[in-house]
Each structure stands twice: as structure tokens, then as C-alpha cells.
Copies of this chain bind each other. A is one copy, B any other.
């Protein structure tokens, strides 16, 4: 019996149609071979269930926004909190407090980068179209490519180096794969999609981040997932968007 069948499936609630922030949770579940239902995509009533949990009167712990995860009586939202919950259960985080916290801290820093990656194309308002804030987006993109991506990548490179990582064994925390490695992989993937020219240059000088990215992408379960129909492609409704005019 495959691992995916052994327990009651986790229920992941996220918008269909984009990888979005839900992807960070999916990658952890996929790498662990954990059973899960991507509720809004897989169930006919999925969207209604998701909206009811966010807005319903009877929800004790309503999330501000998807993604959120249900595991029996636990309902938890915010990507980093979901991964903090799943990490030790999926074998994707150290259990001792110091290591668990550090993995979480790295994830929260990835969260900050992801929010900035989103705001590049929405610097004024999430409620307006990109077309209504293109001029501002062009200015913000210059700063994001020139200052912010390098600063974050340098930090990840330093964290890898401080962990004694090598190009042969590029891990952020200890010697084993954690959800932070998966999340950094996906963030680099998203940035490469959005800013292929800039990332082509920037990744040349960050050998440890580059090795981490490559090593995660070829892991058997991740590679199988990426080749499957479960993986949704990046597109211009998501967090990471390719607008050629924002890349240089």
C-alpha cells in the first residue's frame, strides 16, 4: 500500500488555478508522500467548504486568507505556521526546540521575500490590476532585482555556509532535508520564472543556493510531482509573474 493511503488525508485549502502560497505546503506533503486532498481543486464542493471555513459563523479559528490546513481537529493557516505544524510530523524539520525554531525562522524570512515578490507587480494595491500600477511596478522591480533579491540570496548563501553546507550537500538546517529547503527551492523557481534575466546573473555567484535548488528539483518524489498533473504552472494570476518589462 503506498504511503499516501496510510492515514486520514490532510486537507489543504487553497485557491485553484495558481501554485501560489499553497505550493509551499504541497511540496512538503509531496516530498513526504503524505496523503492529502487539495480540497478546492479535488472536491465538487471544495470552494464552498473553503469559503465557509474562512467566513462561517461556526469556525473557531478562521484564517485571514488561504492556504490553511485541516488535520482532524486542528485547523491552521499561514504557510509558515502550517509548515511548523507539519515539519516534525513529516520528518521535514528537527524536533528539538532550537532547530525547530531556526527552521521556522528561515521559513518566515522566505515568507518575507515571497511577499515582496508579490508586491513587485502590485506595489499600490492588491485590489487593482497590474495594468493600473505598471509605472509603480517598474520602479519597484528595479529595486527588487537590484537590491532585495541579492540581499535575500546572500543571506540564504550565508545560512548555508554557516551550516557547513557544500555544493554536494546543500542543506539549510543540519544534514537532512527540511521544509525550508523545499520552500527555498520553490522561491528560486518562482523568481527564475518571473525574472529569468536577473536570476540568470544572480544565481551565478550563489553556488550553495544554486546547488540546493538543483538538488531539490531532482529528488524522486519532487520530480514525479513536478511532472504530474497536480503541479500547476506559474501564471500571471499568481505570486510570481513574468512581465518581461519588469525583468532586465
**Which residues on A are within 8 Å of B, measured CB to CB?**
59-64, 73-74, 76-78, 80-81, 84-85, 97-98, 101-102, 104-105, 108-109, 112, 115, 119, 123-125, 127-128, 133, 136, 139-140, 143, 147, 152, 155, 158-159, 162-163
Query: Which residues of chain B have C-beta atoms less than 8 A from A112's C-beta?
Result: 64, 115
Complex Cα distance, B85 from A147, in Å, reads: 31
* A41–B125 CA distance with the chains assembled, in angstroms: 36
Which A-B residue pairs are the 5 nearest by beta carbons?
Answer: A125-B143, A78-B108, A64-B109, A124-B139, A123-B123
**With A60-B162, A64-B109, A139-B136 known to touch, is A127 a contact of B147 (CB < 8 Å)?**
yes
Minimum distance in angstroms from A239 CB to a CB of chain B: 14
A62 touching B143, Cβ below 8 Å: no
Pair A101/B81 contact, Cβ less than 8 Å: yes
Known: A73-B98, A81-B104, A127-B143. 16 other contacts (CB 8 A): A59-B162, A60-B162, A61-B102, A61-B105, A62-B162, A76-B101, A77-B105, A80-B80, A81-B108, A84-B101, A84-B104, A123-B123, A123-B140, A125-B140, A136-B136, A136-B139
Q: How many copies does the complex hold?
A: 2
Query: Knowing A62-B158, A64-B155, A115-B115 touch, does A105 contact B124 (C-beta < 8 A)?
Result: no
- A139 to chain B: closest residue by CB: B124
A145 to chain B, nearest CB (A): 11
Q: Report the separation of the CA atoms of residues A218 and B82 in the bound assembly, to the nearest whole angstrom.
A: 34
Q: Which residues of B contact A119 (CB under 8 A)?
A: 119
A153 to chain B, nearest CB (A): 12
Cβ contact within 8 Å between B125 and A147: yes
What residues on B are CB-neighbors of A78 within 8 Å?
Answer: 104-105, 108-109
Neighbouring B residues of A125 by C-beta, 8 Å: 139-140, 143, 147
Given A61-B102, A62-B159, A101-B74: A124 and B143 interface contact (C-beta under 8 Å)? yes
Flag if A85 contacts B101 (CB, 8 Å).
yes
